[in-house]
């Protein structure tokens, strides 16, 4: 075996080692890219879900206002009990119309679903009465 053959074997060994290293970095880069992309997809999905729930809250609160609150106020029967009933009707309607995937994502992102929905509904009701 001459020097040419030895240099050729060393070059092949280095090329294989270098290719393995480059492949490892490429795979790590691809995995990082997928992780980043999945994060973006979850964020945009969560944003879409929050937007859909907010729209549902607006529609439900406005319907409750038109059907239940307005009638009670016109009959002079609007009190704290009716106010609580109106909130419960709105809250229950939002919960029923929100799918399980959305509930799960909201809970994962913000914690207690009931608290989050209560805050959103109360904030919307407050914005109507400013």
Q: Tens of pLDDT along 14-31?
A: 667 665 666 555 555 555
128, 116, 113: which is closest to 61 by C-alpha? 128
Q: Taking residues 38-60, report their average pLDDT.
A: 82
When the pLDDT of each residue in the chain is averaged and rounded to a whole number, the result is 81
pLDDT of amino acid 88:
94
| pLDDT exceeds 90 at position 36 | no
Cβ neighbours of residue 120 under 8 Å, at least 6 residues apart? 53, 54, 57
One DSSP character per residue, 59-122 reads HHHHHHIIIIIHHHHHTT---HHHHHHHHHHHHHHHHHHS-HHHHHHHHHHHS-HHHHHHHHHH
Q: Taking residues 29-40, report their average pLDDT.
A: 58
Cβ neighbours of residue 109 under 8 Å, at least 6 residues apart? 46
What distance lies between CA 23 and its chain's CA centroid?
34
pLDDT of amino acid 90:
93
Domain positions in the chain: 3-128
């Amino acid at each position: 075996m001459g020097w040419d053959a030895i240099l050729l074997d060393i070059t092949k060994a280095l090329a294989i080692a270098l290719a393995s290293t480059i492949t490892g970095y490429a795979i790590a880069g691809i995995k990082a890219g997928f992780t980043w992309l999945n994060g973006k997809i979850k964020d945009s999905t969560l944003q879409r879900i929050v937007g859909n729930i907010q729209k549902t809250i607006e529609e439900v609160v406005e319907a409750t206002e038109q059907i239940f609150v307005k009638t009670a106020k016109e009959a002079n029967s609007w009190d704290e009990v009716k106010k609580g009933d109106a909130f419960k009707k709105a809250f229950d309607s939002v919960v029923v119309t929100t799918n399980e995937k959305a509930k799960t994502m909201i809970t994962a992102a913000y914690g207690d679903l009931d608290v989050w929905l209560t805050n959103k509904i109360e904030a919307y009701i407050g914005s109507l009465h400013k």
